[in-house]
Amino acid sequence: MRIRSLLIAAGLALATALAGCSTDGVGTMFTADYGARTDAGYRLPAIPVSKVPTKFRRQQVRYDTKEKPGTIVIDTTEKHLYFVMPNGKAMRYGIGVGKEGFEWKGTARVAMKREWPVWTPPAAMIRRRPDLAKWRGGMPGGPQNALGARALYLFNKRGDSGYRIHGTPEWFSIGKAMSSGCIRMMNQDVIDLYDRASVGAKVIVK
């Protein structure tokens, strides 16, 4: 019986290693998912994940909520985004949020999703940063694009809120308040969220 138990434990450990994840006191962490990859013809560089605080790395955690699976809950104070899953679980991601004067809270929905989206800086941003005027007609998608590898477009009752959940090449901005109100994620994380979230999903920002 002891030999059988040891074999089962070894098998579980091997499966965990092959899946590129590990288990700590919080939950299942996907540290190995931040390597370089090619996506839609673009080369996505690796993230030096050892420089990213553990609490901001993608991990499956226990999460008690009355919201139904598929809902996205954004905690701007803790800098975490939760994708609600069945059975009291959630996938948790580290995020960057709006800097002072650009914070917002409320409820929205995912109206559209785009891979390697074009970024068009709004007029107000161009007034603050005239150097962005060259992208008035749109910055093509790519590794250096401000929206990163994926974008989820948030609409409210009045229509387009102007806010996005999107990737960023600036992985070091995760856990900080330095955006113009949009929710930033590491590119490897926003790809994972994009594949999980559905158009029409409820988004709660608190």
**Domains (ranges, CATH) in the chain?**
23-205 (2.40.440.10)
- Confidence (pLDDT) at 26: 52
Per-residue CA distances from 187 to 31, 33, 88 (Å): 14, 11, 26
The residues, ordered by sequence, that sit 6+ positions from 118 with a Cβ below 8 Å of its Cβ are 138, 139, 140, 141, 145, 147
Token pair of 46 as six digits: 């690796």
Provide the whole-model pTM. 0.84
> Could you confirm whether 80 is annotated as catalytic?
no
Which of 166, 167, 187, 190 is an active site residue? 166
Which residue has 């699976």 as its token pair?
69
Strand ranges for 55-172 from DSSP E: 59-62, 72-75, 80-85, 89-94, 97-98, 106-115, 150-156, 159-168
- Confidence (pLDDT) at 16: 38
User: How many Å separate Cα 44 from the centre of its chain?
Assistant: 15
Mean pLDDT by 10 residues, the chain (206 residues): 43 39 61 95 96 97 97 97 97 92 87 95 83 84 93 96 94 92 95 98 97
Q: How far apart are CA 81 and CA 92, in angstroms?
A: 6
Which of 47, 84, 97, 182 is an active site residue? 182
> Could you confirm whether 182 is annotated as catalytic?
yes
Q: How far apart are CA 94 and CA 87, in angstroms?
A: 22
Amino acid at 124: A
Q: Within 10 Å of residue 31's Cβ, how many Cβ atoms?
A: 17
**What does the pLDDT look like over 93-138, one tens digit per residue?**
999 998 766 778 999 999 999 999 998 887 888 898 888 888 788 8
